[in-house]
Amino acid sequence: MKKRILYIGNDLQVNSFTATYISFFSKVLRKEGYIVRTASTRSNKAMRLAEMLSMILRYKETTDIVLIDTYGATNFYYAYLVGKACQLLNMEYIPILHGGNLPERLDGSRKLSESLFGNSRLNIAPSRFLYNSFKEHGFDNTMIIPNSINTGNYPFKERKEFRPKLLWVRRFQKRYNPLMALKVLQILTEKYPNASLCMVGPEKDGTMESCKSLAKKFDLDVRFTGKLKKKHWARLASNYDFFINTTSIDNTPISVIEAMSLGLATISTDVGGMPDLIQNGHDGILVPEADEKAMANAISQLIEHPEKAREICMNARKKVESFDWDLVKEQWNKVLA
C-alpha cells in the first residue's frame, strides 16, 4: 500500500511559476498512487499557519509521512513550527529544501535549524549547492533529488536565428534584481534598436514600479504581463529567444529549468546553485552577479554566433530531460517506501 502523505507548503491555488513546488509535486504523487493531503491555501499568513498546524493534529493517525516545503525567508518559521509539531506527535517528516538563502538561515538560526533539520527523517536538496551547505553544517541526513518537471508540458522550439528578444520570469523582488534586466536591455538597444524585453511575474516589494519608471525614462521596449499560469508563459516563450535570470540569490529555480526545456538560450548570474544547473558555455551562460554589461555581451555574442546558441540550447534540453518526473519519481518512490 502506498504511503499516506501530508504535504505542507504554500498551496495558494495559483498555477504559475510563483507557486511553490507543492502545486506540481502533489499532483504527480497522487498519480503514483499516494494519498496526498495538502495545506495551506490561505493567503493570510496567520490563517495559513493555523491551517497547517491543525492539519497535523487532525490527520496524525492517518498520515505516514509529512513533507514540508522549506525556504529561507518567512516560510522557514512555518516549516520549523510544523516540524516541531511533528516531533511532539512522533510523526516522521521530510523537509524539501528550496531557496538560495537557506544557507544564510542555517547560520542565522542555528538552534531552530538544528531542531528542524537534525530531527527530520531526511532532508531533500534539489542541488549540490544546498546539499553541500547542509553537509557542512553537520546535517548528514541529507540527499539530492533534483527539482522535476513534465518536459512534455514544455515543448522544445529549435531556433534558426536568435533575436534580441528577452524573457524574464520571476517575482518583482529586490533579491531577484529585476532592474538588471532593464539595464541589460538598455545596453543591447544601443546595438540592436529593436531589442525588447518581456517581464512575467507579480509585484512583491515595489521593484515593479521602479522597473516601469526606468523603462519609461529610457524609452525601452518592455512588456509587463503580471503573473501568468505556467501554460501561458510557456506559450509566450515562443516569441522570445533568450531567457535571462538576474538574481542575486538562487538555488536551481524551476523557471530556469522550464526555459531550458523550451529551447530558450539561458543566461544567468553565477550565484548559489546556478553552476549546478548550468555548465557555462555548454548548456547556458553564467555571468558575474549584477554585471549587466557581461550579460548583454553574452547575449550579443550568441546573436552574432547562432550556431553556438543552437548548440547551447540543444545541450540544455538534453540536460533537463534528466529532470523529467518519469525519471525522478523512482528516487522519490525509494525515499517514500
Architecture label for domain 4-146+325-336: 3-Layer(aba) Sandwich (3.40)
Q: Read off the pTM.
A: 0.92
pLDDT > 70: percent of the chain: 97
Instruction: Please tell me if the domain spanning 4-146+325-336 has the same topology as the one spanning 151-321.
Output: yes
Q: Is the pLDDT of residue 116 over 50?
A: yes
Measured over the CA atoms of residue 190, residue 191, residue 192 and residue 197, the dihedral's sign is negative
CA distance 268 to 167: 12
Q: Is the pLDDT of residue 19 over 60?
A: no
**Where does the pLDDT of residue 17 fall: very low under 50, low under 70, confident under 90, or very high at 90 and above?**
very low
- Size of the chain in residues: 337
Kind of pairing between the strands at 242-245 and 196-200: unpaired
pLDDT recorded at residue 16: 39
Whether the ω angle into residue 40 lies within 30 degrees of 0, i.e. cis, is yes
CA distance 240 to 265: 9
Kind of pairing between the strands at 4-8 and 65-70: parallel
pLDDT recorded at residue 99: 84
**Could you report the per-residue pLDDT of 244-265, keeping only the tens digit for each?**
999 999 999 999 999 999 999 9
**The C-alpha cell of 154 is what?**
514544455
pLDDT recorded at residue 231: 86
Superfamily grouping for domain 151-321: Glycogen Phosphorylase B; (3.40.50.2000)
Residue that is written with C-alpha cell 514600479 in the block: 209
Q: Is the pLDDT of residue 319 over 80?
A: yes
**The C-alpha cell of 114 is what?**
538544528
**Where does the pLDDT of residue 311 fall: very low under 50, low under 70, confident under 90, or very high at 90 and above?**
very high
pLDDT recorded at residue 230: 85
Which has the higher per-residue pLDDT, 270 or 21?
A: 270
Measured CA distances, 140 to 32, 206, 335 (Å):
28, 39, 15
Give the Cβ contact number of residue 219 at 10 Å: 9
Output the 3-class SS for 243-311: EEECCCCCCCCHHHHHHHHHCCEEEEECCCCHHHHCCECCCEEEECCCCHHHHHHHHHHHHHCHHHHHH
Which has the higher per-residue pLDDT, 215 or 233?
A: 215
**Could you report the per-residue pLDDT of 182-200, keeping only the tens digit for each?**
999 999 999 999 999 999 9
CA 29 from chain center: how many Å?
A: 19
Give the chain's radius of gyration (CA, Å): 20
CA distance 97 to 74: 14
The set of residues, in sequence order, having a beta carbon less than 8 Å from that of 217 and lying 6+ positions away, is: none
Q: Is the pLDDT of residue 161 over 90?
A: yes
Measured over the CA atoms of residue 302, residue 305, residue 306 and residue 309, the dihedral's sign is negative
Residue that is written with C-alpha cell 538560495 in the block: 100
The set of residues, in sequence order, having a beta carbon less than 8 Å from that of 320 and lying 6+ positions away, is: 149, 151, 257, 260, 261
**Could you report the per-residue pLDDT of 132-159, keeping only the tens digit for each?**
999 999 999 999 999 999 999 999 999 9
**Could you report the per-residue pLDDT of 77-96, keeping only the tens digit for each?**
999 999 999 999 999 999 99
CA distance 152 to 39: 27
**Where does the pLDDT of residue 163 fall: very low under 50, low under 70, confident under 90, or very high at 90 and above?**
very high
pLDDT recorded at residue 44: 87
pLDDT recorded at residue 22: 84
Structural domain spans, the chain: 4-146+325-336, 151-321
